[in-house]
Homo-oligomer: A and B are copies of this chain.
Amino acid sequence: MRFKRIEEKDIRVLEDSIGRDRISTGISNLKLHSLDQSHHSAHMPELVIWPVNEEEVSFILNYANHNMIPITAWGAGTSLEGNPIPVYRGIVIDFSFMNKILKIREEDFQADVQPGVIYQDLNHSLRHKGLFFPPDPGARATIGGMIGNNASGMRSIRYGSTRENVLQMRIVLANGEIIDVGRRSQKSSSGYDLLRLFVGAEGTLGIVVQATVRLWGIPEESSSILVSFQDIKMASKAVYEIIRSGLDPVCLEMMDSACIKVINRIKGLDLDPYETLILEFHGSSKGGVKESVEFAQEICDSLNCETFLSGIERDEYKRIVDARHFLGEAIRKNHPGRLHTVLDVAVPISAFPEMVSIAYRETKDIDVPAYIFGHAGNGNMHLAFMVEEQNQREWRKVNEIKDKIIKKAISFGGTCTGEHGIGIGKRAYMELEHGRGIFWMKKIKRLFDPNGILNPGKIFP
Q: Which residues of A contact B (CB under 8 A)?
A: 105, 107-110, 130, 149-152, 156-157, 161, 163-164, 168, 173, 177-181, 183-194, 196-197, 199-201, 205, 217, 219, 240, 244, 246-248, 283-292, 295, 346-350, 378-380, 409, 412-422, 426, 429-430, 433-438, 440-441, 443-445, 447-448, 459
Known contacts: A196-B196, A288-B283. The answer to whether A422 contacts B189 by CB under 8 A is yes
User: CB distance B347 to A417 under 8 Å?
Assistant: no
User: CB distance A194 to B437 under 8 Å?
Assistant: yes
A436 CB contacts on chain B under 8 angstroms: 177-180
A/B interface sample: 13 pairs, CB < 8 A: A161-B189, A179-B440, A185-B409, A190-B422, A190-B429, A192-B200, A192-B444, A193-B199, A194-B441, A284-B288, A284-B291, A284-B292, A285-B287
Known contacts: A130-B246, A185-B347, A217-B246. The answer to whether A190 contacts B434 by CB under 8 A is yes
Closest 3 CB pairs of A and B: A287-B287, A288-B288, A217-B246
Known contacts: A107-B350, A196-B197, A283-B288. The answer to whether A181 contacts B437 by CB under 8 A is yes
The complex places the Cα of A418 from the Cα of B187 at a distance, in Å, of 5
Known contacts: A437-B180, A440-B448. The answer to whether A189 contacts B417 by CB under 8 A is yes
User: CB distance A187 to B156 under 8 Å?
Assistant: yes
A197 CB contacts on chain B under 8 angstroms: 192-193, 196-197
The complex places the Cα of A271 from the Cα of B328 at a distance, in Å, of 59
Cβ of A409 to closest chain B Cβ, rounded Å: 8
Using CB atoms, name the residue of chain B closest to A152.
B187
Known contacts: A285-B285, A414-B184, A437-B181. The answer to whether A108 contacts B348 by CB under 8 A is yes
The complex places the Cα of A430 from the Cα of B183 at a distance, in Å, of 12
Cβ of A210 to closest chain B Cβ, rounded Å: 13
Known contacts: A107-B244, A217-B246, A435-B179. The answer to whether A192 contacts B378 by CB under 8 A is no
The complex places the Cα of A354 from the Cα of B184 at a distance, in Å, of 16
Tell which of A180, A193, A244, A349 has the most Cβ of chain B within 10 Å. A193
Cβ of A197 to closest chain B Cβ, rounded Å: 6
